[in-house]
Amino acid sequence: MARSDLLINLVKAGVNGDTGTFRRTVDAIVAEERGKQHNVLADQIERVVKTTNGNALITAPRPASEGSQRAKDFISEIMPRRKLIDLTLPETTQLATRQLIEEQQRASLLRSHSLEPRHRVLLVGPPGNGKTTLAEAIAESLAVPLWVVRYEGMIGSFLGETASRLKRVFEYARTTPCVLFFDEFDAVGKERGDKHETGEIKRVVTSLLMQIDELPSYVVVIAATNHSELLDRAVWRRFQLRLPLPAPTQKQLTQFVQSLAEKAELNLGVSAAQITKSLGRVSYAEAEEFLLNIMRRVILTQGERPSGEIVREQLKLWTARARSAKEGTGEEKSAGTSTS
């Protein structure tokens, strides 16, 4: 049985002719019943609203409909595996994330006091430092699917096409509790005052803001960006939590490498501090990839070579790769010119 507050909201919306509230409440009831595995009841509710005559207040979202099927073309579903406890996060970011999860898990208590849990999060930081991983960890903690929006299928060349597809994605997300993740959010949330942008992107941003406002609180929408300066000012106000994920310090990177090695039961033969010092300023993703390379070599050599030797070999390769990247970007040349 749906919660009493949802039933009361449904009756009030029907009496007052409030179609917006009616729609959101029906969505919430359907999502809650599906979350309890009451799929038959959820299907019945949707069928009743769908088949009601023209005097009905709304047409409820239909997950099995053609529109919802098309919405799936713009979403990739990821099975959450990363756990929050495994992540290395700034203290304030970790605290805010745990509060968000608690609010979502105890949403009924908040609603009994006429409050809703926070559910709109903006992650800001350079690439490779955990934005996608944090979204996955939040989904894992809440035991809900992680839906990643795919821009390559959504952004169209015709007038109004992108905004229409975006609307479909949000309508589909309302059908069940989930984490809806927008990576590279500046692709769709650009500053509308930018004179170089077309009227189409301005319509997309306006539609995006309206859809975010109308999302029920059981849908946690997480947006990530490497370029926060490009976001529309109104976008910032939509997010209740704005969490930084900066590049790691050497101490944080050392802890991260040590933690990964311990979980993999990998004897590095070299201290984690020495490794991170040799790697230089890298992201968590790059450090993880380095450790994975070592694991591959350890497995393939089947214990015939000491792990310390493998680590030193991989560090040599890493240094050569880093030097090649600098030469490719002209960093060394410009550095040399400045000192001559």
d(CA 249, CA 276): 10
What's the whole-number mean pLDDT along residues 181-189?
A: 82
Q: What are the boundaries of each domain within the chain?
A: 4-60, 70-244, 250-331
Residues β-bridged to residue 161 = none
SS3 228: helix
In this structure, are residues 239 and 225 in contact, taking their beta carbons and an 8 Å threshold? no
328 has a pLDDT exceeding 70 = no
Q: Report how far apart, in Å, the C-alpha atoms of 148 and of each of 77, 100, 155, 331 are.
A: 6, 19, 15, 35
* DSSP notation for 297-314: HHHHHTTSS-HHHHHHHH
pLDDT score at 175: 86
pLDDT score at 293: 92
d(CA 220, CA 122): 11
321 has a pLDDT exceeding 70 = yes
Residue-wise pLDDT tens digits, 35-89:
776 777 777 787 777 665 444 444 444 444 445 557 777 888 988 989 999 888 9
Selected residue with higher pLDDT from 58 and 219: 219
SS3 160: coil
Of 236, 219, 152, 217, nearest in space to 187 by CA: 152
**What is the CB-side half-sphere exposure of residue 150 using CA atoms within 13 A?**
11
| CATH code, 70-244 | 3.40.50.300
For residue 28, what pLDDT band results from cuts at 50, 70 and 90? confident
Question: Whole-model pTM?
Answer: 0.72
The number of angstroms, rounded, from the C-alpha of 209 to the middle of its chain's C-alpha atoms is: 17
Residue-wise pLDDT tens digits, 247-271:
999 999 999 999 889 988 888 888 9
For residue 334, what pLDDT band results from cuts at 50, 70 and 90? very low
pLDDT score at 151: 78
d(CA 135, CA 126): 15
